[in-house]
Amino acid sequence: MKKIGRPSKNTEQVTVRLLVETIEAIDAARKSEDDLPSRPEMIRRMIDDWLDRHAEESPKKVE
């Protein structure tokens, strides 16, 4: 039987509370993407983008 949800990867769940205005900004950014990512996927993309832009400032990039 096939599992429902994301495929197994070396990941860990993180739960955060965000201001409504922040969520609205994330949703607006999602709508500007060609593939309309889910909210969690958009947050992952935003974090990855931030990490890429700040890679030279930190000694280790997490993937």
**How confident is the model over 10-45, as pLDDT tens digits?**
888 899 999 999 999 999 999 999 999 999 999 999
Rounded-to-integer distance, Cα 25 and Cα 22, Å: 5
Q: Indicate the burial class of 58 (C-beta count within 10 angstroms; 0-12, 13-18, 19 or more).
A: exposed
- CA-to-CA distance for 16 and 32, rounded, in angstroms? 23
pTM: 0.72
How far apart CA 7 and CA 36 sit, in angstroms, is 20
Within 13 Å of residue 16, how many CA atoms lie on the same side as its CB? 9
Question: Is residue 6 very low, low, confident or very high in pLDDT (cuts 50, 70, 90)?
Answer: low
More confident residue, 20 or 61: 20
Flag whether pLDDT at 62 surpasses 60.
no
For residues 37-56, give the mean pLDDT.
93
